[in-house]
């Protein structure tokens, strides 16, 4: 596989907003159009369970986010587009990775440490409210990536540490079990816009300052009017630097349009006018996508079909054969494929001829020679003591004529006896 594999996950725990679109969806769809890359985009719904306890929200968000990607132009026949929970090999791989990962590595994860620090600051137990899901999150994410041996993982800055952990985990596994994993790299694109939200901080559902990507035109207008501005009057020159309004405009406009807007800011455009211009720009970009989105969302079964088909093909091509190889590597192996060596050794043991010494009811001592199948070859005469019987056995083994001590038994041939003795001596 000479191709570059690019993979990224989107957690379905909310409604997609403009920041998600400009920061992740748009660049990913553009990158997926390059012929020389194999792209993997998936809905990380197992991750969503860490963030929310609402089943309806996970399901609804999965539908909305899948529809958004398709409406944004992702072509599911050209890229791998799937839902994490449709690939059971991922949780299986998570366990294999768990067993080569030091707990200390996870103790150092930012998200977990932040939760602990907050607890400690509030005088709570350090792990209060911390689920094992939150703690193990970097392991599940490593499995997402390593399952498909992705080379590059486009993520935000907050995810860089997780990529470093994925590399460490991959290296530990490779060290113990052989080179199975590519060490993935984070791809953080500084050219990709980080959008400000309504309050000027980074647009994020955790700040509750988002503009939903597919807000209705009326809602979109209302939200744009709620964006914070300074109190400069119409006619006063306005700063583009640090203006959320300007940054939002820039993220959706052409360079020429942006240059024009910059001039208008310098000339003292009224905030109301700037908001109007932003609304027009956004509506022009979003409207065609919104129409596709609404069609898609009205037919959930079509989206279900797209996701299912993606997962099925992906499992057949990568996940199923790869997990089989990994299971083999760690020793989760079929018993009937044990090297056949031990079986013949045992059979041989059973088939060996043997001298057997014993005492009869008459108080005398005897021996006999039996072949591997238990057939009697030689029968000794009676000896007064076990020692004498033993000496006779030794003599026969040494190639002395056996006639003095024993007689051929039943159907036995002298040649069989010679062969049995040779076999015994060859041990
Ligand atoms: N953790 C990522 C986020 O919250 C989502 C994600 C899950 C992901 N698995 C991934 C991203 C694998 C990249 C690769 O944004």
- Whole-angstrom distance, CA of residue 30 vs CA of residue 22: 11
Instruction: Provide the 10 A C-beta neighbour count for residue 68.
Output: 24
Q: Start-end ranges of CATH 3.40.50.620 in the chain? A: 4-193+299-330
Looking at ligand 1, which atom is closest to the CA of residue 162? 1
Sequence-distant (≥ 6) Cβ neighbours of residue 44 within 8 angstroms: 9, 10, 11, 12, 84, 141, 144
CATH of domain 214-297: 1.10.240.10
Residue of 20, 90, 134, 141 to test ligand 1 pocket, by largest number of atoms within 8 Å of CB: 141
- Whole-angstrom distance, CA of residue 412 vs CA of residue 33: 82
138 lines ligand 1 (CB under 6 A): no
- Asked if 135 and 106 count as a contact pair (C-beta separation under 8 A), the reply is yes
Residue of 162, 170, 206 to test ligand 1 pocket, by largest number of atoms within 8 Å of CB: 162
- Widest Cα–Cα separation across the chain: 132
3-state secondary structure of 368: strand
- Whole-angstrom distance, CA of residue 305 vs CA of residue 86: 12
- Asked if 46 and 91 count as a contact pair (C-beta separation under 8 A), the reply is yes
- Whole-angstrom distance, CA of residue 158 vs CA of residue 194: 12
The model carries a pTM of: 0.76
Residue of 9, 45, 50, 166 to test ligand 1 pocket, by largest number of atoms within 8 Å of CB: 9
Tokens 């093909």 — which residue?
313
- Whole-angstrom distance, CA of residue 13 vs CA of residue 205: 10
The radius of gyration of the chain from alpha carbons, rounded to an integer in Å, stands at 38
**pLDDT reported for residue 1:** 47
**pLDDT reported for residue 117:** 95
**pLDDT reported for residue 90:** 98
Strands 185-187 and 152-154: parallel
Would you give per-residue pLDDT tens digits along the chain (427 residues)? 448 999 999 999 888 999 999 988 998 898 888 878 999 999 999 999 999 999 999 999 999 999 999 999 999 999 999 999 999 999 999 999 999 999 999 999 999 999 999 999 999 999 999 999 999 999 999 999 999 999 999 988 889 999 999 999 999 999 999 999 999 999 987 777 789 999 999 998 889 999 999 999 999 999 999 999 999 999 999 999 999 999 999 999 999 999 999 999 999 999 999 999 999 999 999 999 999 999 999 999 999 999 999 999 999 999 999 999 999 999 999 998 777 665 555 555 557 888 999 998 999 999 999 988 888 889 999 999 999 999 999 988 888 778 888 888 877 788 888 888 888 887 6
141 lines ligand 1 (CB under 6 A): yes
* Topology classification of domain 4-193+299-330: Rossmann fold (3.40.50)
Bridge partner list, 408: 378
Q: Start-end ranges of CATH 1.10.240.10 in the chain? A: 214-297
User: How many residues in total does the chain contain?
Assistant: 427
- Asked if 296 and 237 count as a contact pair (C-beta separation under 8 A), the reply is no
* Topology classification of domain 354-425: Double Stranded RNA Binding Domain (3.30.160)
417 lines ligand 1 (CB under 6 A): no
- Whole-angstrom distance, CA of residue 51 vs CA of residue 134: 8
Write the residue with the smallest CA distance to atom 14 of ligand 1.
Answer: 8
3-state secondary structure of 104: helix
Bridge partner list, 42: 9, 82
Write the residue with the smallest CA distance to atom 10 of ligand 1.
Answer: 9
Residue 284: exposed, middle, or buried by beta-carbon count in 10 A (0-12, 13-18, 19+)? exposed
């Amino acid at each position: 596989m000479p191709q570059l594999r690019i993979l990224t996950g989107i957690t379905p725990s909310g409604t997609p907003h403009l920041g998600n679109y400009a920061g992740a969806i748009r660049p990913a769809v553009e990158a997926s159009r390059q012929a020389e890359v194999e792209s993997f985009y998936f809905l990380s719904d197992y991750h969503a369970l860490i963030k929310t306890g609402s089943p309806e929200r996970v399901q609804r968000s999965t539908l909305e986010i899948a529809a958004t990607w398709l409406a944004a132009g992702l072509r599911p026949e050209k890229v791998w587009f799937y839902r994490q929970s449709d690939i059971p090999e991922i949780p299986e791989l998570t366990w294999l990775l768990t067993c080569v990962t030091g707990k200390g590595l996870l103790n150092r994860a930012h998200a977990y440490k932040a939760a602990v620090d907050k607890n400690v600051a509030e005088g709570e137990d350090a792990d209060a409210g911390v689920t094992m899901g939150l703690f193990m999150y970097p392991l599940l994410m490593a499995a997402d990536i390593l399952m498909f041996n992705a080379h590059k993982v486009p993520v935000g800055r907050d995810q860089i540490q997780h990529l470093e952990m994925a590399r460490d985990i991959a290296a530990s596994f490779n060290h113990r079990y052989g080179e199975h994993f590519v060490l993935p790299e984070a791809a953080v694109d500084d050219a990709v816009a980080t959008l400000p939200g309504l309050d000027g901080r980074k647009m994020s559902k955790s700040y509750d300052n988002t503009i939903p990507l597919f807000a209705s035109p009326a809602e979109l207008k209302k939200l744009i009017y709620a964006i914070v501005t300074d109190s400069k009057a119409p006619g006063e020159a306005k700063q583009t630097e640090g203006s959320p309004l300007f940054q939002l405009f820039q993220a959706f406009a052409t360079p020429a349009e942006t240059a024009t807007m910059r001039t208008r800011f310098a000339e003292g455009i009224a905030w109301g006018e700037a908001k109007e211009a932003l609304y027009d720009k956004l509506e022009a970009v979003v409207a065609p996508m919104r129409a596709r989105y609404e069609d898609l969302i009205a037919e959930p079964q079509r989206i279900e079909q797209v996701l299912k088909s993606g997962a099925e093909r992906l499992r057949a091509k990568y996940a199923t054969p790869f997990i089989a190889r990994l299971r083999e590597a760690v020793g989760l192996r079929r018993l009937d494929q044990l090297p056949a060596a031990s079986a013949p050794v045992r059979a041989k043991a059973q088939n060996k001829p043997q001298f057997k010494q014993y005492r009869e009811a008459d108080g005398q001592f005897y021996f006999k020679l039996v072949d591997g199948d238990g057939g009697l070859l030689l029968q000794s005469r009676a000896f007064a003591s076990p020692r004498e019987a033993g000496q006779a056995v030794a003599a026969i083994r040494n190639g002395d004529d056996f006639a003095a001590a024993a007689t051929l038994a039943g159907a036995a041939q002298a040649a069989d006896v010679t062969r049995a003795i040779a076999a015994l001596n060859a041990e």
